[in-house]
Structure 1
Amino acid sequence: MALLPGYIHTPLQGIDSIVGKISKPDGLRFFYEIGAIPVPGRPLTGGSFSNYAKSVPVADRLWLKEQQVGGQDFHLALTKRDILIVSLPASGINISVSVKTPEEMAEALLTILSFRAGK
């Protein structure tokens, strides 16, 4: 993911997945979780990826979108509490960020959609 100017990456302590935060002073705070991609037919473990964007109940979300960008599937949901949740199923990644304004939404999308698997 390409960090916009002023943003820093902070690894956090997870139990069974990789977690962290991307933030800047007086700016957005992205939280991410990277879990193991489930193998069909095998049991899920505590650290297995679960598609958070698709898991938001219909009553709690404003919208749910699915889009392929750069050959990757992105699942995006905006909750009624202004939390943008983005899931990348092929990479096992969930990202969440609170967005209160159109400018914050633009900054969040520019950051998240810059992600390229394996880079």
Structure 2
Amino acid sequence: MRFSYQAEKSSSARHALMLPHSLGEAQSIADAFHEISLALHQLDVSKLSESAQRWIATLQDYMNTTGVSDPDGDGAWAVKARTFTIDDQILISNAVDELAHWFDHEDGT
């Protein structure tokens, strides 16, 4: 199975989390979430390894915006990202990095 698109999008997500965060950390995380959502669109996650499924589940949990209010129109992911602790940010960054590496490896690049 080829994962070129997923490798590209997860790599873009990883880059979004790199310094500097010219629009702020919350927006960088929101940008990374956008790239991950594109990578996962119409992907049958059940066909992936258990590790990849765990990283995806972690990211999907953090990406869930149920109950998030966005009265200023900043974007629900950016609003939610402002609530993340340093530990949350580390978990997100690690999951994005591991998933990007996994897709790169599985795609043969």
Query: Where on the TM-score scale, by shorter chain, does this alignment land: which range?
Result: under 0.3
Please identify which structure carries the higher helix content. 2
Q: TM-score, normalised by structure 2?
A: 0.26
With CA pairs under 8 Å and 6+ residues apart, which has the higher RCO, 1 or 2? 2
Please identify which structure carries the higher strand content. 1
